[in-house]
Chains A and B, each alone.
Chain A
Amino acid sequence: MSEKTENLVKVTIDGKEILAPGKLSTIQALWHAGYPRVKSVGCLEGVCGSCRIMARRAGSTEVTMELGCQTLIEEGMEVSFLVFPTPSHHTYELGEIRNSWEVQAHFSRIFPEADHCRNCHGCTVSCPKGIQVERGVELAVKGRFREAGELFVECVMCNFCMTACPEFIAPNHVGIFARRVTAYFHIRPSNLINRLEKLRRGELQIRDQ
């Protein structure tokens, strides 16, 4: 009994004071305390980017952007959920880019703000996955899409970097664009192509029963 009480942690989540075991995430803590929570809950494994929170720890003035399911509660922590992410205002179809020589031109058209980056580091600082977001944008502007895309392997599209960017760059969408054009223009696996060709020729039929 006393052991259990000792492990309890007091936090404030969306203005509600909550007492819950310290090993719980912010979402689990809300549920533990009996509060409903539906919005901003997703995979609970840190890959869907839904449970966006702002957190401030006791004795600190710094506000951090984190994923609620990945953040364990700490004594004196204050948490706010950010429910609705802003959609990107950029729009494009990969099919419009006729060949890989034109990718950079299309990129400048689709993401005209990308080369306005003022190196404020807001995107990089806000990334809960520790991605070098600003560097990724810089590489994409230079046309180094494969390299830029590699930086976004862990991106869960939580959109924090978009919220943080004063130039409305939508850095996560830049990252995904970089990854997508790399696949679209440069992934040509001979083992797959060979198999498709065999199927096209009607080889490899499946037996009836």
Chain B
Amino acid sequence: MAMQGIPYSEALRNYSVKTFREPAGEVQEPEQLLRSFHPDYYPGTTVTLRVGVNRGDACHHQLAEVLQADARIDEADLAGAAIRETDVLVIGGGGAGCAAALVAARAGARVILTTKLRLGDSNTVMAEGGIQASIEKDDTPQMHLDDTLRAGHYRSDRRLVARMVADGPDVIRWLIQQGMQFDLDKYGDILLRRAGGTSANRVAYYRDYTGLEMMRVLRESVTNSNIEVLDYSPAVELLSNEEGHCGGAVISSLKDYSYTLVKAKAVIVATGGIGRMHINGFPTSNHFGATGDGLVLAYRLGAGLRDLDSFQYHPSGLTWPQHLAGTLITEGVRSAGAYILNGQGERFVDELETRDLVSSAILRECAEGRGVEVGDDIRGVWLDTPGLELRNPGTLAARFPKLIQLGKRSGIDLYHQPLLIYPTLHYQNGGVVIDENGCSSVPRLYCVGEVSGGIHGKNRIMGNSLLEIISFGRRAGAHAAEKSHRRGHKKVSIEHVSNLRRELTLAEMPMEKQGPALFPECAKFENDSDYDGLRRNRKGRP
């Protein structure tokens, strides 16, 4: 059990704004710090998968539960369902999905983009810090690669990282060509800030609204194209053909409560991560829809997954006031020079270390009684915004308008009072195994963005996710469009669901839970009588 921290009011009384504070120095024995405090190493968090391609692999138990859940539908649900045909079906309306759809459509493919909520409802829109691209004259793609591999503890797929870092500068150009703005210096050059654990200023940004700026531009591009967008339409199952290749998806409509079979020559899954599963009980910075649907869909069809026991906890989630717990404060604030202080007012870690180390150090301070304690179970450390403003006057207003809004909503004057932060569940490091075009191990099934794995190894650096979604979104879109030229549609079914049920039965697994989850438990989707039409055959199940 964690030791009692320093009471909030006492810690606040002891706090004063200072220009200089002693740096913490390098982390001694980083491996030991992670093993002792990083949530990935909490005892009992992983189980061994018993069903599917990754049978025998370690997997976080919450994720294992959805990967080994029953399907939401069976053949009977599809009787009378409308059937549509397209060349490329994109599942997911965040940055990766939009980039893939745009590139595929411009290459001449007919594209349907289906999204669980509205177009743009995603983690992309919430991204703050920026996007990595080696642009500065002293920086190189090689350094970008080296930094990414090192921060990921050398567990990345080097080939994927090499493609991504080489794409970086052209991704920024492509985004500008879609109409995205970046913060520029007085000569019109792109401003770059440094991500934790990296060797150069490499993160391009737009205020702390980088994702919002990116998403509203991509959304506008998509809605002004010939891409057909199906909103409020979560995919509940993929379709397979006789050869086991992907042949489309079953889409449910939250508007008219019906199922549609969309037959496609290629399917690009871009559904994002699983933050809203609140892995290890942590609050999350993630979007409402981040429930790991794509992982479940792809796994059932036979796609291999990787690193299912590795998650990112972002060091600076707001932890007080409680109703805003988990809200992200960009790493850009630390990059601009903000310190993190424990309840005794001391810096205890290099603020620009990799995220896994900074988070572990925060958890250590809290566990060992040097954190700030608000009440039962609410503790954290200070993010010293007043100190930042003292050293760099005007920075907060010029660079971090979203943070200022957050301060207002918290009722905390961040010019004079530090914010209380605690790690927040931020990112799924692993995911579907892909190649350089985003192809999974199932033919005609592509996975891009957070749903995919292999790029970030065991720990991601700031700005690499926004780069990844555009880099691999474009790659998958181009490849899928080209391949779908020469193909016809084949007979499709959800036969793989029967195989899944057989496997689950043989492994004596419980079948009460159904996946994909679609929504977090708090939203009570499963009890919402509005959606009974999507569950009409459920009672008759064995």
Contact = CB atoms under 8 A, between A and B. Distances in A.
B184 A50 contact: no
A194 B219 CA distance: 29
Contacts of A50: 117-118, 121
Contacts of B217: 176, 179-180, 183
Given A42-B117, A47-B126, A183-B179, A194 B209 contact: no
B524 A48 contact: no
Contacts, number: 165
A157 B216 contact: yes
- Scoring B217, B219, B531 by chain A CB atoms within 10 A of each residue's CB, the highest score goes to B217
Nearest to A149: B181
A17 interface: no
Interface residues of A, number: 58
Contact of B224 (A70, A93, A153, A204): A93
Contacts of B190: 189, 191-192
B181 A183 contact: yes
A195 interface: yes
A58 to B, nearest CB: 21
Contacts of A91: 224
B497 interface: no
A196 B169 contact: yes
B287 interface: yes
A105 interface: no
Nearest to A88: B223
Interface string B157-169: 0100010011001
A120 interface: no
A140 to B, nearest CB: 14
Contact of A43 (B121, B223, B254, B401): B121
A34 interface: yes
Q: Which 4 A-B pairs have the closest CB atoms?
A: A180-B179, A36-B528, A36-B524, A189-B190
Given A39-B117, A180-B180, A184-B176, 19 more contacts: A31-B522, A37-B524, A39-B254, A43-B125, A45-B126, A48-B121, A87-B223, A153-B207, A153-B209, A179-B179, A180-B178, A180-B179, A184-B178, A187-B182, A192-B173, A192-B189, A196-B169, A199-B141, A204-B141
Interface of B: 117-118, 120-122, 125-126, 133-137, 140-142, 145, 158, 162, 165-166, 169-170, 172-173, 176-182, 184, 187-190, 207, 209, 211-212, 216-217, 219-220, 223-225, 232, 254-255, 287-289, 321-323, 327-328, 401-402, 405, 409, 519, 522-525, 527-528, 530-531
